[in-house]
């Protein structure tokens, strides 16, 4: 089953017909909110707002372990994470979407593993390719179906936040090879890998990163809000397409629904 983690601008999922909400207790504390169960175009998904339903939890205070644990415990097998980013690469203009394929983690002080000290053998999991290829392919297919001009791949710089970056920091991330910068990509992606969830991200550029483009002198909070609203309304259509896809569960097509588009378009 598909789980959707909504970031800034996506604290609720319009079009989701909600069947129930479940408060989950986890060994790692409280998730960002109750897990919402519902249907998108007749297909069961679960939804969680990363920053809480009132958007009150800043990126460095999100309980990533509880969120990922809860989604897994409730039957998710695949996760699409929606995250806003600042565009570093010249092609990642505000309003454009990307499906990153690499991460550099600049965060600190976050709980980064489910491994408990002294309880089990230490394991070093492979994380060469941090996103699940199958889930990335589904995201790219869904974006194609909705006519999005998406950036294929790219390196996501995960930063601590909640402040935005300095120009010198962005110049450094660019030299490191980063194409976009966001505050929530890690440790979320790694925890998903550790627990065995197939995880990918749709990154939405909502501003030029500090020192780039029209953020040369400052980043306008107002224009971020405008972009967030516009871009997330498009992301909602992409999520409906994603909900239609096969996650190893029984997939039924709602006649006349957006999923009813034929096998050639429905899959890669
Ligand atoms: N920096 C970090 N995170 C972000 C940005 C940014 O410029 N825009 C949206 N999320």
Q: Which residues line ligand 1 (CB under 6 A)?
A: 84-86, 159, 164-165, 181-183, 206-207, 209
The lowest-confidence range among 19-28, 115-124, 145-154 is 115-124
The pLDDT assigned to 118 comes to 74
Does the domain made of 2-266 have the CATH classification 3.40.50.1580?
yes
| Residue 191 reports pLDDT greater than 90 | yes
User: What is the gyration radius of the CA atoms in the chain, in angstroms?
Assistant: 18
Phi/psi at 187 (5° precision): -90, 15
| Residue 259 reports pLDDT greater than 80 | no
Domain boundaries, the chain: 2-266
> How remote is the C-alpha of 83 from its chain's centroid?
5
Say which DSSP state 6 is in.
Answer: E
| Residue 36 reports pLDDT greater than 90 | yes
Dump pLDDT digits (tens) for 138-165. Answer: 999 999 999 999 999 999 999 999 999 9
Q: What is the dihedral of CA 102, 104, 108, 112, to 10 degrees?
A: 30
| Secondary structure (3-state) at 121 | coil
* Helices assigned H by DSSP within 2-108: 64-73
CA of 183 to the centre of ligand 1 (A): 7
* pTM of the predicted model as reported, rounded to 2 decimal places: 0.92
Best mutation site among 158, 166, 207, 228 for ligand 1 pocket (most ligand atoms within 8 Å of CB): 207
| Residue 122 reports pLDDT greater than 60 | yes
């Amino acid at each position: 089953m598909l789980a959707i983690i909504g970031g800034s601008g996506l604290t609720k999922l319009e079009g989701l017909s909600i069947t129930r909400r479940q408060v989950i207790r986890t060994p790692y504390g409280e998730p960002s909110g109750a897990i919402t169960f519902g249907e998108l175009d007749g297909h069961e998904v679960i939804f969680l707002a990363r920053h809480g339903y009132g958007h009150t939890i800043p990126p460095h205070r999100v309980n990533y372990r509880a969120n990922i644990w809860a989604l897994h415990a409730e039957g998710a097998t695949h996760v699409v994470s929606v995250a806003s980013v600042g565009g570093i690469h010249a092609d990642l203009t505000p309003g454009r979407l990307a499906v990153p394929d690499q991460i550099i983690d600049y965060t600190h002080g976050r709980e980064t593993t489910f491994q408990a000290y002294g309880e089990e053998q230490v394991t070093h999991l492979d994380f060469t390719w941090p996103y699940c290829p199958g889930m990335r392919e589904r995201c790219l297919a869904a974006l194609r179906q909705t006519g999005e001009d998406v950036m294929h791949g790219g390196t996501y710089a995960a930063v601590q936040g909640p402040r935005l970056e300095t120009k010198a920091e962005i110049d450094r991330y660019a030299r490191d090879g980063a194409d976009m910068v966001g505050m929530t990509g890690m440790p979320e992606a790694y925890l998903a890998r550790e627990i065995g969830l197939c995880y990918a991200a749709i990154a939405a550029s909502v501003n030029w990163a500090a020192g780039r483009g029209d953020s040369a002198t400052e980043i306008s909070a107002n224009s971020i809000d405008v972009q967030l609203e516009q871009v997330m309304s498009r992301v909602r259509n992409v999520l409906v397409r994603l909900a239609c896809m096969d996650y190893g569960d029984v997939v039924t097509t709602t006649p006349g629904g957006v999923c009813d588009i034929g096998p050639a378009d429905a899959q890669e």
